[in-house]
Amino acid sequence: QLQLQESGPGLVKPSETLSLTCTVSGGSISSSSYYWGWIRQPPGKGLEWIGSIYYSGSTYYNPSLKSRVTISVDTSKNQFSLKLSSVTAADTAVYYCARQIGPYTIFGVVITLDAFDIWGQGTMVTVSS
């Protein structure tokens, strides 16, 4: 079945760029029925959506992070990636990648981004000098 696996450095220095990759196995990232998203969770806190990307490259970003975030997709490698620039200690978190249902039409309404139905196990990233 479909699996997602995050990879990347576990430690990033303040002011530098955090880079993570999510590898999709057991299915194609080029499916027209799904977006691919990043969500993070600071230690002991709740979930925060970072952004999502379609296989075509179309993206949606959390406005609160948009100025620092870039999400890209590499369909040849079945991967998508996250770059978060100018990191601070507040960016320390477990970062999850997930498959997001959408786009589709139901009852005449277009739903672009729906549920996150499959998640990676998450990777802890600490921002510290």
Partner 1 sequence: QSVLTQPPSASGTPGQRVTISCSGSSSNIGSNYVYWYQQLPGTAPKLLIYRNNQRPSGVPDRFSGSKSGTSASLAISGLRSEDEADYYCAAWDDSRVVFGGGTKLTVL
Smaller CB distance to partner 1: residue 68 or 75? 68
Site string for partner 1, 1-30 (x = CB under 8 A): ------------------------------
Site string for partner 1, 89-118 (x = CB under 8 A): -------x----x----x----x-xxxxx-
SS (H, E, C) the chain: CCEEEEECCCEECCCCCEEEEEEEECCCCCCCCEEEEEEEECCCCCCEEEEEEECCCCEEECCCCCCCEEEEEECCCCEEEEEECCCCHHHCEEEEEEEEECCEEECCEEECCCCEEEECCCEEEEECC
Among 43, 63, 88, 108, binds partner 1 (CB under 8 A): 63
**Smallest separation, CB 96 to partner 1 (Å):** 6
Q: How far apart are the first and last CA of the chain?
A: 39
Among 22, 60, 73, 91, binds partner 1 (CB under 8 A): 60
48 binds partner 1 (CB under 8 A): yes
Q: Which residues bind partner 1 (CB under 8 A)?
A: 37, 39, 46-49, 52, 60, 62-63, 96, 101, 106, 111, 113-117, 119-122
